[in-house]
C-alpha cells in the first residue's frame, strides 16, 4: 500500500487555483511524496529464551516509483538499527527497520524482542487495589512534613477514597506490564483521571519477577510529564497473601512512597 503525503491543503488549493487560471500549468504528482511501505516478517513481539540464539525474521518493503508507476521491492535497502539483542541478558530490546521514500522521507517499523527465563512460573498478573492505610506518602499535612497514609491525602483531595484497578499483565515468563506503578497517586488520589481523562497520571511501566517473588523495575513513564521513576526497591510479591509491596522514588526523590497492593482477581 502506498502512502501519500500532501504538502498542506491550503498550499495545494492555491496551486490548483493557479492552474485553473493558467492553461500552461498542470497539477501533477510532483507535489506528492511516496513513503516506503514496510512489513515485519515474523511477530512484532518476540520471546527469546535466555541462552538461545536470536534469529531476526527480517523485514520487507515496497515503494511506488513515480517515474514508471510501478511498485518496486526495496527490501535490500532497509537499514536495521536500534538495540542489539543479547540473548544472554534478560530484558526488552527494540529492533528498528527503516527505509527512505521517494523524496528521502524515512519510514520505520519496530520489533520488540523479550529475552526471558522460561523457568520463571510465578504469575503476578491481575488487578490490584491500593491499601489506603498501609500505603504511605511523604508530604505535608497542615504544614507538617511526615509520612501519611494515602487515605489522608485521598480525603483531602476528594477524588477517591480507594484506588483500584492497578493491573499487571504478563507479556512473557517473568515479564509484566504495569498500568500504574504509583498505585493511583496522581491518576486517582490527585484526580488526573477525572480532570483530564485518559491515563496521563498513570506511571505505566514494565517489571520482571523471579520465582521467589522479587520484583525489578525495567522501565517506566508517566504521560503527564514524560519522565520516569528513579527506582523501586524492596519490591516483593507474596503469592500466599496476594500482595505486592515496594518503595518508589520519583522526580529525584521529591516524590517518595511505600506501596502495598492487594490482588483482587
For residue 88, give the C-alpha cell: 544472554
C-alpha distances in Å from residue 106, one per residue of 75, 78, 101, 110, 155: 14, 10, 6, 13, 51
C-alpha distances in Å from residue 156, one per residue of 36, 109, 129, 141, 151: 54, 46, 19, 9, 9
Instruction: Give φ, ψ of 93 to 5 degrees.
Output: -130, 140
> What is the reported pTM?
0.80
What is the predicted pLDDT for the residue at 16?
35
What is the predicted pLDDT for the residue at 27?
46
What is the predicted pLDDT for the residue at 137?
98
The Cα 181–Cα 64 span in angstroms is: 45
What is the predicted pLDDT for the residue at 32?
84
Domain residue limits, the chain: 3-116, 126-263
Q: Does domain 3-116 have CATH number 3.20.20.70?
A: no
**How large is the greatest C-alpha to C-alpha distance in the chain, in angstroms?**
81
Are the beta carbons of 95 and 56 closer than 8 angstroms? Answer: yes
Q: What single DSSP character describes residue 214?
A: B
Which residues, in sequence order, are CB contacts of 154 under 8 Å at separation 6+? Answer: 132, 160, 161, 162, 163, 188, 189
Residues of the chain with pLDDT under 70: 1-31
Amino acid at each position: 500500500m502506498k502512502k501519500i503525503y500532501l504538502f498542506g491543503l491550503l498550499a495545494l488549493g492555491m496551486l490548483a487555483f493557479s492552474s485553473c487560471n493558467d492553461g500552461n500549468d498542470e497539477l501533477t504528482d510532483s507535489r506528492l511524496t511516496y513513503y516506503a511501505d514496510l512489513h515485519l516478517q515474523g511477530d512484532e513481539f518476540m520471546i527469546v529464551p535466555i541462552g538461545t540464539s536470536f534469529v531476526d525474521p527480517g523485514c520487507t518493503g515496497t515503494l511506488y516509483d513515480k517515474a514508471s508507476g510501478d511498485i518496486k521491492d526495496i527490501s535490500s535497502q532497509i537499514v536495521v538499527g536500534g538495540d542489539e539483542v543479547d540473548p544472554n541478558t534478560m530484558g526488552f530490546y527494540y529492533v528498528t527497520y527503516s527505509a527512505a521514500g521517494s523524496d528521502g522521507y524515512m519510514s520505520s517499523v519496530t520489533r520488540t524482542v523479550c529475552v526471558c527465563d522460561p523457568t520463571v512460573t510465578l504469575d503476578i498478573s491481575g488487578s490490584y487495589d491500593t491499601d489506603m492505610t498501609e500505603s504511605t506518602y511523604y508530604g505535608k499535612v497542615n504544614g507538617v512534613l511526615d509520612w501519611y497514609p494515602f487515605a489522608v491525602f485521598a480525603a483531602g483531595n476528594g477524588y477517591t477514597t480507594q484506588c483500584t484497578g492497578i493491573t499487571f499483565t504478563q507479556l512473557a515468563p517473568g515479564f509484566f506490564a504495569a498500568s500504574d506503578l504509583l498505585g493511583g497517586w496522581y491518576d486517582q488520589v490527585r484526580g488526573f483521571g477525572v480532570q483530564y481523562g485518559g491515563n496521563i497520571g498513570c506511571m505505566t511501566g514494565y517489571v520482571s519477577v523471579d520465582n521467589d517473588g522479587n520484583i525489578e523495575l525495567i522501565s517506566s513513564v508517566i504521560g503527564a510529564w514524560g519522565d520516569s521513576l528513579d527506582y523501586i526497591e524492596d519490591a516483593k510479591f507474596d503469592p500466599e497473601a496476594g500482595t505486592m509491596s515496594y518503595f518508589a522514588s520519583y522526580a529525584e526523590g521529591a516524590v517518595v512512597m511505600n506501596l502495598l497492593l492487594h490482588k483482587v482477581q
